[in-house]
Amino acid sequence: MDFGFRRSVTFSLTFVTMQVLSTALAPALLPAQSPGIQFDMPAITTALDCVHNEDHGGSATASTHGMREVSFDLVVSSLIVDAAGHLPQAAPPIDHLLIRCAMRDNWPVVDYSPRTELETDFASPITVTNKQERNKSYGISIDGQFPQIGAAHAGADDQDKRSDSTQFDRQAPMQAVVASGTTDRGRGVYFKLRWTAQHVLEGEKQFRVSIAVPHSWRGGLIDVSVIANGRDRALFGPTKIRALAISNFVVAVYRQGDSEAAEIALRLANLDRKLAALALEKESSSGAITQFWQHLLPNDSQSASQENWYRRLVVGHADPYTDKRIRSLPMAARVAVLDYTEASRELTQLGDAG
């Protein structure tokens, strides 16, 4: 009797334990069900020498300080997908995209495109018509029968009608679909793109940035961050802006016609792709129990920073010779890290030799 009861209790506890474990593992191992946003950028871009008219202010500013102006294009692609990787039936609530970019060497920004653009949802100006109409009417009527005299009728009527009408056109309300400007005291630039009925954020967007560089400049690195923000509409309280997706890119840029700089930029892009694959392989090789404990117990800032060794390396925040996380990588990964660091140094220091 007691033995049977003990077996029943043991089975129930085991079932509850496995149920809790599977519930805790689900957020860590299963993809999110809500639609997501994916970003992509080319790893290499070419810088062209800018030729302006004499009245162009940017060229005069660059030449005043003994520098020349070059421009390069940045292409950002965005794709909205659901958890299974298919196109969703309805787009997620994206309010705007925020793109920031700056040269790793902090060269000043001279010009950028697109500039701030305003649009409206109305096809023409709004016509406003005010119409006032007042009517006044008075009437008196008397009918009577008088014996031996006959019938009598008396009446009076007064009407007053006044109508006023005013019509004018009102300018349609405008909103910024593209807002752009400089950051970091002119060392960086941002682009803010808003999703409207006529302005869709999904697909490819192109931006152009002009910077002032020394005459000996041959190439460098561009740090780019892309953030998709949405609005959380609460039942009570104000609407809040929330980041839906964040991606960071490092783009290698070289001067047009410089074959040596182009070769280094291409080598750097190939190494970046290799390191990204190694980081993804290292992350996926961790067991389910390890992912369970990482999800259950939040990491502190130091351990989280150590895990993201690839991101810290490409943005220049990790020393491959002293970083403990990088030094613990397999030999093939450490060799790729050193090759990437060397190629990055070569590209940014090409102009020093000239």
Please write the tens of the pLDDT for every residue from 18-48.
333 333 333 333 334 445 889 999 999 999 9
pLDDT computed for residue 117 by the predictor: 80
The rounded distance, in Å, linking the Cα atoms of 241 and 229 is 6
Residues 269 and 253 in one domain: no
Q: Does residue 165 share a domain with residue 37?
A: no
pLDDT, tens digit (0-9, with 9 covering 90-100), for 127-185: 667 677 666 665 666 666 656 665 656 565 666 666 666 665 666 666 678 999 999 99
- Look at 81 and 139; give whichever has higher pLDDT: 81
User: DSSP code of 157?
Assistant: E
Distances (CA, A) of 167 to 120, 134, 156, 162, 256: 22, 18, 37, 17, 59
Q: Which of 5-14, 94-103, 235-244 has the lowest mean pLDDT?
A: 5-14
Which of 23-27, 210-214, 224-228, 335-339 is predicted with the least confidence, judged by mean pLDDT? 23-27
Q: Can you name the residues that pair with 164 across neighbouring β-strands?
A: 132
- Is the same domain home to 44 and 183? yes
Please check whether residues 82 and 101 belong to one and the same domain. yes
12 to each of 1, 4, 6, 285, how far by Cα in Å?
A: 17, 13, 10, 33
Q: Quick one: 191 and 250 in the same domain?
A: yes
The CATH number of residue 244's host domain is 2.60.40
Tokens in use for 1? Answer: 């009797």
Structural domain of 272: 259-354
Mean pLDDT of the chain: 75
Whole-structure pTM value: 0.69
Residue 18 lies in a domain: no
So what's the pLDDT on residue 48?
Answer: 96
- Pick the closest to residue 226 from 200, 249, 199 (CA basis): 249
The total number of structural domains that make up the chain:
3
Q: Do both 154 and 112 map to the same domain?
A: no
Q: Do 157 and 242 sit in the same domain of this protein?
A: no
Both 263 and 332 in one domain: the answer is yes
Using the predicted structure, report yes or no on whether residue 98 has a pLDDT greater than 90.
yes
Summarize the confidence of residues 101-129 as an average pLDDT: 81
